[in-house]
Amino acid sequence: MSYFLLFSSSFLAATVLPFYSEVVLFALARQGEPGPLLILVATAGNTLGALVNWVLGRYLLHFKDRRWFYFKDKQIERMQRWFNRYGVWSLLFSWLPIGGDALTFIAGVMRVRILPFLILVGLGKGIRYILVFYFSTQTLL
């Protein structure tokens, strides 16, 4: 059950919902759960949550002319220019709490191929969870 909670919180944290999977990972690590499995579950959940953003970015642009569509044309153009400037490698920073979710959405808008997307996003998020696990198992002063 604890791994399901970790996967779910990691998945939701990668979407636009305000969720913090690091707290769950920290608690499970402090309980002595095996690190590699925790990191794998958290990374998988967070990467699949980012994939939801990619899908939304890829397909929701069909509705950009609708009144309810959140982004305006100028915002989309600005995001596209930014992504073109920094390229697909910027997906390594999709783990950032501010801008990371938007980055995965933009990748969908820019039609980044799914395999490079999953590799770069998974790598960035995996490194973050490794660091969170490492610091959560260190003795707190």
Q: What are phi and psi of 120, to 5 degrees?
A: -70, -45
> Residue 17, class by beta-carbon neighbours within 10 Å (0-12 exposed, 13-18 middle, 19+ buried)?
exposed
Element housing 6 (H / E): helix 2-13
CA distances from 72 to 21, 63, 99, 105 (A): 31, 11, 17, 14
Contact 49, 15 (CB under 8 A): yes
pLDDT digits (tens, 9 = 90+) for 96-135: 877 788 889 889 988 999 999 999 999 999 999 999 898 8
Q: What is the mean pLDDT of residues 53-69?
A: 84
Q: What is the mean pLDDT of the chain?
A: 87
Mean pLDDT of all residues in 47-56: 94
d(CA 59, CA 72): 16
Q: Enumerate residues 6+ apart whose C-beta is below 8 A from 111.
A: 58
pLDDT at 68 over 80: no
* Measured distance CA(48)–CA(21) in Å, rounded: 14
According to the model, what pLDDT value does residue 139 have? 61
Q: Cα Rg for the chain, rounded, in angstroms?
A: 16
Interval 52-64 mean pLDDT: 87
CA distance readout (Å), 16 to 11, 37, 46, 109, 112: 10, 25, 12, 16, 20
Top-confidence residue, 91 or 82: 91
Mean pLDDT of 37-55: 95
Would you state the pLDDT for residue 141? 44
